[in-house]
Structure 1
Amino acid sequence: MNTKAELTKGTSGADIGKLVLAAVVLIAGIVAYTYLGNIGQSAPVRLVTILVAVIASAALAAFTGPGRRVRHFFAESQIELRKVVWPSRDETVKTTGIIIAVVIVLSLLLGLIDLLLKSVVLDWLLKLGS
């Protein structure tokens, strides 16, 4: 059993308030982006506006309970990715070649089965009925 397993606690009121505030900041950024576009503001100003809103809302959300769990998940994911043994170029090329050969063989086999069934249905079964 995993020793890190723990009961998940409910989200506190402060965390909910922070998440709501993060959503409000993000929505305000989207509204500002649209409004600045409608009044003819330049694209760089609009881009900075939306980037500031996204970064601010992400920062607010990161300091909540769910945000800490997401950060912890990403940190553990990076540790696990370091453990992955990636294939060499030679292994990748050989495996790709084998897969392509199998696909070609199976497509030819299915094509032959299709031709056989077509000839059976069209030539034999339909001619027997007439």
Structure 2
Amino acid sequence: MPPESSIDASHDDFEYESPFAQLLGLRHYPAVDGVGLASMTIEDKHRQRAGVVQGGIIVALADYAFHLACETRLGAGQTAVTVELKVNFLAPAKDGELRAAARIVSARRRIIVCDVDVTGKDNELIAKCLGTYIVSGQAA
């Protein structure tokens, strides 16, 4: 996985890809060579009753990074959509930054498999994910 510094939350070179990403505050960075990097700052709106980040938010961040990694393998006119996503939640996230580093494990003509580490404060591993994506459309 890329070093933590490669997705420093203070970095100004991020962009919001979609209204959904903007709603959740998901930031992404330039994806290169099958690696997708995303981050977010934990806010009150991300927490559930127990005061920790709701699992769906962590999954959204992971899926966002997955898609960024997949885009590095797509041609013009192609897209990749999630067909399966497995998540192991390993520790609660309470405050600070969450970072997701996704990398492609296997890329075939129609199927891409990625894994992602979601880390939090002090680079603690919050979640480990494995996703499968199907490629649609014809490469130009």
- Give the alignment's TM-score, normalised by structure 2: 0.25
- Give the alignment's TM-score, normalised by structure 1: 0.26
Higher relative contact order (CA 8 A, sep 6+): 2
Relative to its length, the structure with more helix (as a share) is: 1
Structure number with greater Rg is 1
